Amino acid sequence: MKFWILSYLIANLFISQIMATTVRLVDRITIQGPEVELGEISTIEGGDPNIHSFIKKIVVAEAPSLGNTKIISAYSITNILRNNGFPNIEVLGSQSTVNTESKLVYAEELKDLIDQWLSKKLPENTDYKIEYTRLPSRWKVPNIYDLDFIISTNKKQLRKSINLKIRALYNGNVLASQSAIINLKIYKESAVICSPIQKGDVLEKKHITIEKTEITNSNGMEIANLKQVIGMEATRNLKQGQLITLNDVTAPIVIEKGSLNRLIVMNGSVRLVVAGVKALENGRTGESITFSNPLNKKETLHAKVMRHGIAMIKMK
């Protein structure tokens, strides 16, 4: 019985403290966001200070977007208080008009953000030069301490002209966005011609050097290793100082049309070598080309070029 009476007295005391509490709305306020807490748009009066601290933290709305205002009515706040277990708190004032506080991000800060983003996106040992085609001199964003900035682009290859989207986020929500256009030049250690080459010439070590050069227009076809290009055949004339790409070279012809070659026929563990087989077309290492059939002149054979003068057929 005594416990019941004590509980009743405590409950009544708590209710009386709540009923003694009032919320007085301010007419107009600027907040940081991204959410509007009751304590930001009102003063809490009367009652227990411990209740005040809880009520102040109640979220009553999302902050308005920059440049806009949001009107929060006393009626909506009364309902929010009721839903949070405070049905008897009086709300004074008819409404509160809320703006979001902003700060400016200047061009130099945006350049730093873009530079940091590129340094993570581009491969290691890659240098770059940025020309800013379009960049805002200043950008207004919500004045939130731990605001995140995310940069993205739809372009797969980061080079030449790139459209960038810059977003300001808080807890994954986009609060502001901006765009920029940059022109990006890429530099990387790559194969370069140091001695002029004519179309059809075979490249030797003396013709090539590896140096840091601009690869902006190579579309990812630049060559970084001398082993990839030595012994290859030039597909066009190459000038001194010119960047070499995979389109500029091809494997040399190791079997010429009309030449007689050795043909290796593999059938399981059985290996047969036939000499004097005539090639009916030019062939490079790894290619499959046609040969005359020495046993039947009306038929042709298809064999894979292995190296100079040698091709192979693997029977099924």
Count of C-beta atoms within a 10 Å radius of residue 116? 12
Q: 296 pairs with which residues across the strands?
A: 293
How far is residue 284's CA from residue 19's CA, in Å, rounded to a whole number? 93
Single-letter amino acid code for the residue at 89: I
Looking at residue 38, what is its pLDDT? 94
Residue 29 contacts residue 96 (beta carbons within 8 Å): yes
Task: Inform me whether the pLDDT recorded for 208 exceeds 60.
Answer: yes
Helix ranges (DSSP H) in the chain: 2-19, 49-56, 74-83, 107-121
Which is more confidently placed, 99 or 9? Answer: 99
Higher local confidence (pLDDT), 165 or 32: 165
* pLDDT band with cut points at 50, 70 and 90 for residue 123: confident
For residue 268, the enclosing domain spans: 253-314
What is the predicted pLDDT for the residue at 124?
A: 85
What separation in angstroms does the CA of 51 have from each of 17, 54, 67? 8, 5, 34
Average pLDDT over residues 137-160: 91
Using the predicted structure, report yes or no on whether residue 14 has a pLDDT greater than 80. Answer: no
Q: Give the closest residue to 300 by CA, choosing from 309, 311, 308.
A: 311
Can you give the pLDDT at residue 13?
41
Q: Are residues 295 and 205 in the same domain?
A: no
Q: How far from 227 is each of 8, 24, 208, CA to CA, in Å?
A: 90, 79, 11
Residue of 203, 191, 167, 284 lying closest to 241 (CA atoms): 191
pLDDT category at 15 given cuts 50, 70, 90 is very low
Name the 3-class secondary structure at 3. helix
Average pLDDT in the 189-203 region? Answer: 92
- The encoded tokens of residue 237 equal 């004339």
Question: Residue 310 is part of a domain; what is its CATH number?
Answer: 2.30.30.760
Q: What is the mean pLDDT of residues 78-101?
A: 92
7 has a pLDDT exceeding 90: no
Shared-domain flag, residues 181 and 193: no
User: What does the pLDDT read at residue 19?
Assistant: 54
Give the integer Cα–Cα distance in Å for 269 and 253.
30
Whichever domain contains 43, its CATH number is 2.60.480.10
The DSSP output letter for 279 is B
Model confidence at 5, pLDDT cuts 50, 70, 90, reads: very low
The mean of the pLDDT values for the chain is: 89
- Asked whether 311 and 284 are in contact (CB, 8 A), the reply is no
Q: Is 259 found in the same domain as 235?
A: no
The mean pLDDT value for 37-59 works out to 89
How many separate domains does the chain show?
A: 4
Domain boundary among 100, 123, 149: 100
Query: What average pLDDT does this structure show over 273-281?
Result: 92
Q: What is the pLDDT of residue 273?
A: 92
Residue 37 has pLDDT above 80, yes or no: yes
The predicted pLDDT at position 12 comes to: 44
Residue with tokens 């091709």: 311
Q: Which of 41, 69, 100 is the last residue of a domain?
A: 100
